[in-house]
């Protein structure tokens, strides 16, 4: 049974979401404090975290950043009431896998959870190392290096980089990349992909402001080139 941790200080909302997720067959724990959430993840390692941004104790962005710094790879779905897209994307920059803006439908949240868990369980058929120039990816170990330097990638960043490396020189559209991350259960915009690409460039480019590896093809998408 999949274990889902919900961290939401709105009791009515958290109980509604809990009921929906339990109907899906998940084992659900509900907390209302960010500091308690950190303790719970460290203690019991849930399979997925649904995390509100505005929390007492430690806010959701702090919780997300701390878990990624401590190398926890569980999928994180952020819940946010913030209105601007830039604010919404901050969580992705900190390592969240997806976000959902309030107010939201519990059915939509369940679908997002389903998509994230499906992506987590997805395995890459090929076991051989993928090489593009000085970039090497080991799908089974979920490890990547540039010039033998290990890359510290989030789950979403690794999945995107693997997709690019499997199709070097091919221009991949935002829609295709969203499909890799979220399958058909997706409601988010292409800006999500743009943020992940920006974060990837910071890790694989010598000059992220003038990328040579992960290049934008304006009006179409992105392509990975051998350097």
| Dihedral angle of Cα 189, 194, 85, 31, to the nearest 10 degrees | 80
- Residue 87: predicted pLDDT: 60
Average pLDDT taken over every residue of the chain: 85
**Cα gap 49→45, rounded to integer Å:** 10
How buried is residue 188: exposed, middle or buried, by Cβ count under 10 Å (0-12/13-18/19+)? middle
Interval 185-214 mean pLDDT: 82
Task: Give the model's confidence band at 32: pLDDT under 50 very low, under 70 low, under 90 confident, else very high.
Answer: very high
Each residue of 64-90: pLDDT tens digit? 999 988 888 899 999 887 655 666 678
Distances (CA, A) of 149 to 36, 144, 171: 35, 8, 26
Q: Provide the CATH topology of domain 130-224.
A: Arc Repressor Mutant, subunit A (1.10.10)
Asked if 140 contacts 124 with a C-beta cutoff of 8 angstroms, the reply is: yes
Do the domains at 3-121 and 130-224 have one common CATH topology?
no
> Poorest-confidence range of 63-77, 104-118, 182-196?
182-196
Q: Is 198 in a helix, a strand, or coil?
A: helix
* Angle (deg, nearest 10), helices 11-23 and 106-121: 50
In eight-state DSSP terms, residue 152 is -
- Residue 86: predicted pLDDT: 62
| Percentage with pLDDT > 90 across the chain | 41
**Cα gap 117→190, rounded to integer Å:** 21
**Cα gap 225→122, rounded to integer Å:** 26
Question: pTM of the entire structure?
Answer: 0.64
**Domain limits, the chain:** 3-121, 130-224
Write the CATH number of the domain with boundaries 3-121: 3.40.50.2300
Q: How far separated are the first and last CA of the chain, in Å rounded?
A: 44
Residue 103: is the preceding peptide bond cis (ω within 30°)? yes
Question: What are the two backbone dihedrals, phi and then psi, of residue 100, each rounded to the nearest 5 degrees?
Answer: -140, 125
């Amino acid at each position: 049974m999949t274990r889902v941790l919900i961290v939401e200080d709105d009791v009515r909302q958290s109980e509604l979401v809990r009921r929906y997720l339990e109907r899906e067959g998940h084992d659900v724990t509900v907390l209302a404090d960010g500091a308690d959430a950190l303790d719970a993840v460290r203690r019991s390692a849930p399979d997925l975290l649904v995390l509100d941004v505005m929390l007492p104790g430690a806010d959701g962005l702090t919780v997300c950043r701390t878990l990624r710094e401590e190398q926890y790879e569980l999928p994180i779905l952020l819940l946010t009431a913030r209105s601007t897209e830039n604010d919404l994307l901050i969580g992705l920059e900190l390592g969240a896998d997806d976000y959902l803006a309030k107010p939201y439908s519990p059915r939509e949240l369940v679908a997002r959870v389903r998509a994230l868990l499906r992506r987590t369980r997805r395995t890459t058929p090929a076991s051989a190392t993928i090489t593009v120039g000085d970039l090497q990816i080991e799908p089974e170990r979920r490890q990547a290096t540039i010039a033998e330097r290990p890359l510290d990638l989030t789950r979403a960043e690794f999945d995107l980089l693997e997709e690019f490396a499997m199709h070097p020189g091919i221009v991949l559209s935002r829609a295709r990349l969203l499909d890799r991350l979220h399958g058909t259960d997706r409601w988010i915009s292409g800006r999500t992909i743009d943020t992940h690409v920006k974060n990837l460039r910071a890790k694989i480019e010598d000059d992220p402001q003038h990328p040579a590896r992960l290049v934008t093809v304006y009006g179409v998408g992105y392509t990975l080139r051998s350097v």
